[in-house]
Structure 1
Amino acid sequence: MKRRKARELALQALFQLDNHEISIEEAIGHVTEEQDAFLTQLVSGTIEHKEKIDSSLTEKLENWSLSRLPKIERTVLRIAVYELLFTEETPAKVVINEALEICKVFGDEKSSRFVNGVLSKYTDQ
């Protein structure tokens, strides 16, 4: 499975987990029958580090609270921040670009601009 597809499925699985009391395996099973290590890593890592990710995002958001963000943007940001903070295999530019492309598919034009603004703060450090 290509990484873009894994990221899109991770978004969908995390939506499932946000709305239902199910396991990570069940959530992934709802969005694909394929087994993919990267997909599993994204979903489980994002869930495992959710508190640190949310804390980091809260520091970067200006005039927004995490709870006010639309679910698409919040979930895309969580996945991207997980990759930026807890994995080293993908360059930051690629992580940000992938997040923007996923926003274009699942969100709207404003989604990608907003996500870009927040994620760019992670590369300005």
Structure 2
Amino acid sequence: MTRHEARVIALQSLYQIEIGQAQTMQAIAYAVGETKVSDEEMQFIQQLVFGVVNHQQELDELLVRSLENWSLDRVGKVELCILRLSGYELVFDNTTEVRIVINEAVELGKEFGAENSGKFINGVLAKLVPAAEAMRS
């Protein structure tokens, strides 16, 4: 399983939590389904999902500052989950390069979001990166 595939599972889990109010482990288990996942891959998925869940308030505050003329309520749920996921990786997880996090987020937006989601996500993350880098140091 690639890191991208693991992020897809994390995104699907976060979406279930956001929409269906599913419990975190139930959402992960459902998103994984029959997919063969190693212990290391499961650890990465859980790190992402629990990281977003545990830091959601901080992430949402950062996102609000990065959205111009938008509120979180106006952001589509898929895009919001992608922004939270990438925001978590940018701020709280120093293991992935910034450009890779942004590229992954844009690709997830293109794959699962609306027509212009990739551009929207890229624009929001471009504004979030300076704050994320300040928080990392």
Same fold (TM over 0.5): yes
| Shift in CA distance, 107/21, structure 1 to aligned 2, threshold 3 Å | closer
Which residue identity is paired with 2:5? K
- State the Cα RMSD in Å: 1.4
Structure 1, gaps ≥5 residues long: none
Q: Could you tell me which residue of structure 2 aligns to residue 98 of structure 1?
A: 104
Deviation of 1:124 after TM superposition, in Å, equals 4.6
Runs of 4+ deviating beyond 6 Å:
none
Question: Alignment identity in percent?
Answer: 42
Deviation of 1:21 after TM superposition, in Å, equals 3.7
Q: Could you tell me which residue of structure 2 aligns to residue 88 of structure 1?
A: 94
Q: Could you tell me which residue of structure 2 aligns to residue 20 of structure 1?
A: 20
Matched, 1:63 2:36: no
TM-score norm. by structure 1 comes to: 0.93
TM-score norm. by structure 2 comes to: 0.85
| Shift in CA distance, 22/120, structure 1 to aligned 2, threshold 3 Å | same
Matched, 1:39 2:45: yes
Deviation of 1:2 after TM superposition, in Å, equals 1.3
Deviation of 1:22 after TM superposition, in Å, equals 3.0
| Distance (whole Å) between structure 2 residues aligned to residue 73 and residue 13 of structure 1 | 14
Deviation of 1:20 after TM superposition, in Å, equals 2.7
